[in-house]
Chain A
């Protein structure tokens, strides 16, 4: 008789909490529109995997469909790589080619990754170097990079790290403005920047992804899967002879893999692994990473302004767009500029900084992947 009601008798309060967590993610996706393509599948996956007996994960010694997806898409890093091909096909590096200096904001705004990594090793957190690196990489503001690095260094923490990465990316419009306002004056936020329209030669657009991949391969060979897949997608976009493949990568591939990635990440949120103090620490430090990223970009812009003549000053808000989270961060910066002064258009500079952030975040991920194993005990 007990077997008939096993679904009810095996319920635990931890499962109940996870249903609530899943429901919150779904509500945020549906009512607030926060990264709905990811938060909704993650939320539903979290509910699915915490149902009694966890049959979607493993039952009677056989793998459930979510475990099959996890082993075939996350454990071997296939899904993040496929997402990168799709993202590469979506990115237009044109605004960066027209304002190449913006590339440095893509480096400065990675500060959060490294600052958070250091903080995570301090008491009372005391994470190991590999775990701290995986937490810090939330600051890449780039889901696939966070998943890729966490999967290499701290697989048990993949669930909270992925949730933190995607949730904070969705919350960029709420996280960045107060940090920017705190670090800049009204006068600085009103700085206008002239935009020079020019035609980027086609050969540069085609050569760029190839050269970037090769250089990344020489500097940090371990970053090649990340950089290479992103740049492959971009090459398909820019070559001009693979329009259908480019459209497929931007649409069908992106949607299909996102769908599978979301529900599979949700399946890593099993109550026994997710409900602990460590998860709260990871979520807290993820926020710290985004704050430091924003501060790094803004302060770097202010530093550069010290050396520029008055008519060439940079609007320091541009620096904050270097955090990746493409294209949301760029739009947030433009919105702030327009709120400060009607008619102040810095969108193209912000997008240039934003696509640089995409490059910077994967290079930073590659650096972490290369350096941590060298030093970790």
Chain B
């Protein structure tokens, strides 16, 4: 990981922006996926309790 960061540190600003964009989008999707799983699981538990 450190090597990858060092490579990007030496890269052009546009390439750095692309790396931030890719990492950022993956991070946003991953984090919101976790929230989705939490809500979905809670909904399942709630439905089961009602049932």
Q: Which residues of A contact B (CB under 8 A)?
A: 96-97, 100-101, 103-104, 106-107, 110-111, 113-115, 117-118, 120-122, 126-129, 132-133, 200-201, 204, 207-208, 211-212, 215-216, 219-220, 356, 359-360, 363-364, 367-368, 370-372, 374-377
A-B contact pairs, 15 of them (CB 8 A): A103-B32, A104-B29, A106-B32, A117-B17, A120-B17, A121-B13, A127-B13, A129-B17, A132-B13, A204-B43, A204-B46, A208-B39, A360-B32, A371-B19, A375-B16
Asked whether A100 lies within 8 Å of B21 as measured between CB atoms, the reply is no
Asked whether A211 lies within 8 Å of B17 as measured between CB atoms, the reply is no
Q: Which of B32, B34, B38 has the most chain A CB atoms inside 10 A of its CB?
A: B32
With both chains docked as a complex, state the minimum distance between the C-beta of B10 and any C-beta of chain A, in angstroms.
9
Contact string against A for B residues 1-14, beta-carbon threshold 8 Å, 1 for contact and 0 otherwise: 00001001100111
List the B residue with the shortest CB-CB distance to A127: B13
Contacts of B5 in A (CB 8 A): 374-375
Alpha-carbon distance A101/B32, docked complex (angstroms): 10
Contact of A114 among B16, B24, B33 (CB under 8 A): B24
List the B residue with the shortest CB-CB distance to A120: B17
Q: Which of B16, B21, B31, B38 has the most chain A CB atoms inside 10 A of its CB?
A: B31
Contacts of B21 in A (CB 8 A): 114-115, 117-118
Contacts of A360 in B (CB 8 A): 28, 32
Contacts of A97 in B (CB 8 A): 39, 42-43
Contact of A363 among B16, B28, B36 (CB under 8 A): B28
With both chains docked as a complex, state the minimum distance between the C-beta of A210 and any C-beta of chain B, in angstroms.
11
Contact of B23 among A100, A111, A121, A371 (CB under 8 A): A371
Asked whether A216 lies within 8 Å of B31 as measured between CB atoms, the reply is yes
Contacts of A117 in B (CB 8 A): 17, 20-21
Contact of A104 among B16, B18, B32 (CB under 8 A): B32
Asked whether A121 lies within 8 Å of B24 as measured between CB atoms, the reply is no
Alpha-carbon distance A66/B4, docked complex (angstroms): 44
Asked whether B20 lies within 8 Å of A375 as measured between CB atoms, the reply is yes
With both chains docked as a complex, state the minimum distance between the C-beta of A13 and any C-beta of chain B, in angstroms.
35
Asked whether A211 lies within 8 Å of B29 as measured between CB atoms, the reply is no
Other than A220-B27, A368-B20, A372-B20, give 12 A-B pairs with Cβ distance below 8 A: A96-B39, A103-B32, A118-B17, A121-B12, A129-B17, A129-B20, A211-B38, A363-B28, A363-B31, A364-B24, A375-B20, A377-B9
Known contacts A97-B43, A121-B17, A377-B9; A371/B32 CB under 8 A: no
Alpha-carbon distance A116/B23, docked complex (angstroms): 15
Alpha-carbon distance A201/B29, docked complex (angstroms): 25
Known contacts A117-B20, A204-B46, A375-B20; A359/B35 CB under 8 A: yes
Asked whether A129 lies within 8 Å of B13 as measured between CB atoms, the reply is yes
Contacts of A372 in B (CB 8 A): 20
Contacts of B20 in A (CB 8 A): 114, 117, 129, 133, 367-368, 371-372, 375
Q: Which of B8, B20, B36, B38 has the most chain A CB atoms inside 10 A of its CB?
A: B20
Alpha-carbon distance A207/B28, docked complex (angstroms): 21
Known contacts A118-B14, A375-B16; A107/B28 CB under 8 A: yes
Alpha-carbon distance A215/B33, docked complex (angstroms): 11
Contacts of B39 in A (CB 8 A): 96-97, 100, 103, 204, 208
List the A residue with the shortest CB-CB distance to B49: A201
Alpha-carbon distance A106/B20, docked complex (angstroms): 18
Contacts of A376 in B (CB 8 A): 16
With both chains docked as a complex, state the minimum distance between the C-beta of B22 and any C-beta of chain A, in angstroms.
8
Alpha-carbon distance A377/B8, docked complex (angstroms): 10
